[in-house]
Structure 1
């Protein structure tokens, strides 16, 4: 894997999880997954061969330059390890293979919470309380809390614009017309997309569904958007205004990607997310797919 700051480290025999551990996912790029004596082996771009303990994994995240044989997919499925196709460092999420034998315990909990109006609002309230730690949200309806959030975000945009001395005319994004936005909006759109990619990969690996949300609705990934709002202030909004000043009016996708990745690593988002999901759902630490 490439050098520099990365969300994921190079996979070697020494860096693999021990049998006693259960990892939510393992990210791979630039190599091939094959079968060797009924087990999966990873052959990287330098021809190093690493046996993969798929029985200890919830998901394999396949990044750029990867290929996988039919038999390797069958073996992963038999071990209850799903397969996802993602962009570099999982900053984009493309697709996931669903397992017919997957443990649906976490998904069932998520659906039960979302289907009960009272419990669903309680989950939403726990999410909003992360952004309003000093507010009394007891008895507040979802609509009221969403209204509070709208005011908070607009005020946050203005505060960041003043902090970094950046002109701000409001959040604007037109699908398919990325270049028509100003630099601040372009950075925010790109970093949002990267955050959604990471969250999609992680949510799938923990056995939850991106499609069952508690605040957002009428969108393809409501649970992802729910979770993203817990992290956007630092990872996306503050980053956008800071980089706008540094870029002096010229959008630089490499700078955006590097800066976003650095903040994700600093926050330790991948570890933090597991505990955050359990907390907002009120179900205890996420258990993964297997019992």
Structure 2
């Protein structure tokens, strides 16, 4: 009898009805599969300054990439880095094209209905920033103005919900948003502090100011529903790496700030 790869079966089962899934929970043990194969597929969203980008040698790096390497090492597994866009983050996990996603993905109630999250492993602030001459201090100030966002992000959702009447220009990833700002196509953006730093570095003195902070986001590693053993392992890995200082040291290397002291105790 031909042996069928478990991941292939799971991917094919994704389109089946709820009744068909009743027999599948016993298969939901990606941790065992990873440890047996000694290989783990971890998805990262490339083109996000400080989190996931290409270095001078065109090698992937950033805090998310390095976190993925640390996780793979602790698993005793070879890392297969699955490079995706922001918009592909949730679908990549839903369709099991990766075992784990470490891609600056904020933990939200909407996303928790589709995929599972670990406890937070990092944070980021999302902000509205613009040229100094723009008088914007809240969402009301965005009405009638053009503002750029990266599609399928919390920024996109929050501006859409709270700034009705603004002209929202959506980009597929942070890299194209940065290009638009640097080339002068936009004077106002909703983004994160790391992306703003990259924009200002390239604008050569003509910097954007932070107008207001929209929200501090807790970032979680994501995995498919039902992978409770893998989720437990990842949660323990985050706690251990945070308490040892290893996770903070790596994060600070890229972001020049410490992780919040209460990070692993936050309710999400």
State the TM-score bracket (shorter-chain normalisation): under 0.3
Give 1 or 2: higher helix fraction: 1
Could you tell me the TM-score, scaled by structure 1's length? Answer: 0.25
Structure having greater relative contact order (Cα 8 Å, sep ≥ 6): 2
Could you tell me the TM-score, scaled by structure 2's length? Answer: 0.27
